Amino acid sequence: MRHGKKFNHLGRTASHRKAMLSNMASSLILHKRINTTVAKAKALRTYIEPLLTKSKEDTTHNRRIVFSYLQNKEAVTELFRTVAPKISSRNGGYARIIKTGFRLGDAADTALIELVDFNELYTSKDSVKKTTRRSRRTTTKKVDQVVDKAPLENEETQNDDDSSEGKEVQ
C-alpha cells in the first residue's frame, strides 16, 4: 500500500529538510536562479509557491509568515520589494524547472530552477529582434533610393570635370 507517500523526504530528517529548503528558497529569491537536483527543485517549487503568493499582499502579518519560513531578512526584503511587484499579475507558476542533464560525480539528474518573470534572456531577445528587423527594412530602402540618385549626380559632376579639364588644357 502507498499510504503516506505523497511527500518526498529527500533522504533527510525533518529539521534538515526544513533548513535545506529554507536556504534554497532564500538563494532562489536573492539570485533568481539556482542549480540543483531535479528532486530538490520539485520540492523547492512546492515550498516557495505559497510564499510568493503571500508576498503579493505586503502586510506585516504576511512578512512575518514568510520570515518564519525563510529566516533571512535580506531575502524577505528582496521578495517584498522587487519580486512581488513583478509577479503581481501572475496567478501561480512562479518558478520554472529546466532539466540540465546529469552530474559527473554521481550521475544525479540536475536541473535549473528560476523565477519566471526574472529571465532577461527570453524577454530581451524578443524585443531586440523586433526592433532590428524594422530598422533594417527602413535603412535598406533608404540606401537603395540614395544609390539610385547617386549615379545621376556623379555623371553631372564628371561632365563638369571633363569640361573644366578641357578648359584648362585650352
Predicted pLDDT at 4? 79
Asked, for residue 39, whether it belongs to a domain, the answer is: yes
Rounded to a whole number of angstroms, the CA Rg of the chain reads 31
Q: Which amino acid is at 143?
A: V
Cell triple for 35: 542549480
Looking at the structure of the chain, the number of domains it has is 2
Res. 111 pLDDT band, cuts 50 70 90: very high
Domain around 151: 119-170
Between CA 67 and CA 29 the distance in angstroms is 13
Predicted pLDDT at 169? 55
98 lies in the same domain as 23: yes
In the predicted structure, residue 151 carries a pLDDT above the cut 90: no
Between CA 122 and CA 161 the distance in angstroms is 57
Closest CA to 24 of 72, 68, 58: 72
Asked, for residue 164, whether it belongs to a domain, the answer is: yes
Provide, rounded to the nearest whole percent, the portion of the chain with pLDDT above 70.
Answer: 71
Asked, for residue 9, whether it belongs to a domain, the answer is: no
In the predicted structure, residue 32 carries a pLDDT above the cut 90: yes
Res. 5 pLDDT band, cuts 50 70 90: confident
Predicted pLDDT at 58? 95
95 lies in the same domain as 36: yes
Mean pLDDT of the chain: 83
166 lies in the same domain as 100: no
Interior angle at CA 31, CA 25 and CA 35, nearest 5: 70
Asked, for residue 1, whether it belongs to a domain, the answer is: no
Between CA 75 and CA 90 the distance in angstroms is 20
